[in-house]
Structure 1
Amino acid sequence: MYRQGIIELLRRTFDGAAWHGPAVMETLRKVSSDQLGQRIGNSHSLIEIVEHMTAWRRFTIEKLRGNTTYDVNDAANYPRVEPNEESWTITLQQFEDSQTMLLEQLEQTNDSLLEQTVEGRNYSFYVLLHGIIHHDVYHLGQIVLLMKGQ
């Protein structure tokens, strides 16, 4: 029951019909190549933020798969990516793939897992999954600001 609600929130936040406004992919599909390297002050670039979002989605997928040793290292957390159309195509595809893999993994997960603590952390899978949704929305706000800063 809870799992299906999380799946629905992940879909809405990612693909559309989100309560907060445009969904993540609705926004990312409007990014122009000249916005990819956009920064405000010494912030991360737009493409680096999407790479960061993908890294934490991979973390979530790996933890759901039972990979107790997986973690996000510094290089994956905010990788330096050349902001061009080729790298954007790859980044965006990897981000979309992470959504597919996350939803597929959740479909195979039992609701009882949501109550369990994530190995090496002090929170449950329920908190982690809601956290990944909040994480996407938080960074979506940054991306929108970066797009407007152009």
Structure 2
Amino acid sequence: MASDSPSFDPIRFLRGELRRSLHGPAWHGPALLEALRDTTYNEAIVHPVGEAHGVAEIAVHCAAWLEEVARRLDGSAPRMPARGDWCAASGFSRADWEQALHDVEAAGHALDAHLAALPADRLLAICGEHDTHDAPLGSGVRLAAMINGVIQHNGYHAGQVVMLTKALRD
């Protein structure tokens, strides 16, 4: 019996979730790029909450992990991001801030392109076939879980950016 309802396409679903986590509309509030673009350079380089990372550092961190997940979708072994997990924003210029915004967007587009080219059956493959589960590294999990993890990562950090920016403005 033929069905009038479309079949579920997990790649299409994950691409939509990735897009919403970066560009919106996100269910939880501002998406990552919306939150980052609402932050000025002067706000981005400040640490309003003790030793917590500032917005500029969060932006570079998010770009780094988007790049790393895209690299893994090509079959590369898990490792820490090429640009490192966290950067120090001391000496972070206005041009660095603009570059960080560009890098988050570009890394999101690159990940989306890698995801679009991924056969759906690869979503069940383990990232780092012979690696044991390493939560901070994000290895030893199915590719679907890793992609979902970076989407959640975007939402988590979007919330931080909103709170840090609000703290500076209040």
Instruction: Bin the TM-score by the shorter chain.
Output: over 0.9
Counterpart for residue 15 of structure 2: 7
Task: Provide the TM-score with structure 1 as the length reference.
Answer: 0.93
Query: Counterpart amino acid of 1:113?
Result: R
CA distance in 1, matches of 2:106, 2:82: 22
Query: Counterpart amino acid of 1:47?
Result: A
Does residue 110 of the first structure (1) align with residue 119 of the second (2)?
yes
CA shift for structure 1 position 38:
2.2
Does residue 89 of the first structure (1) align with residue 107 of the second (2)?
no
Give the 3 Å change call, closer, same or farther, for CA 24–6 of structure 1 in structure 2: same
Which of 50, 54, 76 aligns to 2:63? It is 54
Does residue 132 of the first structure (1) align with residue 150 of the second (2)?
yes
Query: Counterpart amino acid of 2:97?
Result: W
Residue pair 1:38, 1:149 contacting (<8 A) in 2 also: no
Provide structure 1 residue ranges, at least 5 long, that are not aligned to the other structure. none
Larger Rg: 2
CA shift for structure 1 position 75:
6.0
Provide structure 2 residue ranges, at least 5 long, that are not aligned to the other structure. 1-8, 132-138
Does residue 66 of the first structure (1) align with residue 75 of the second (2)?
yes
CA shift for structure 1 position 36:
1.1
- Give the ranges of 4+ consecutive aligned residues of structure 1 lying more than 2 Å apart after TM superposition: 81-84
Residue pair 2:23, 2:33 contacting (<8 A) in 1 also: yes
CA shift for structure 1 position 84:
2.8
Task: Provide the TM-score with structure 2 as the length reference.
Answer: 0.82
Deviations 1:107-145 (A, max 9, x none): 110001110000132210010000001001111111111
CA distance in 1, matches of 2:95, 2:83: 20
Q: Which has the higher helix share?
A: 1
- What SS is found at the alignment partner of 2:53? coil
Residue pair 1:56, 1:132 contacting (<8 A) in 2 also: yes
CA shift for structure 1 position 37:
1.6
Which of 31, 35, 47 aligns to 1:23? It is 31
Output the aligned Cα RMSD: 1.5
Which of 28, 32, 36 aligns to 2:40? It is 32
Give the 3 Å change call, closer, same or farther, for CA 45–63 of structure 1 in structure 2: same
Query: Counterpart amino acid of 2:99?
Result: I
What is the count of residue pairs matched by the alignment?
149
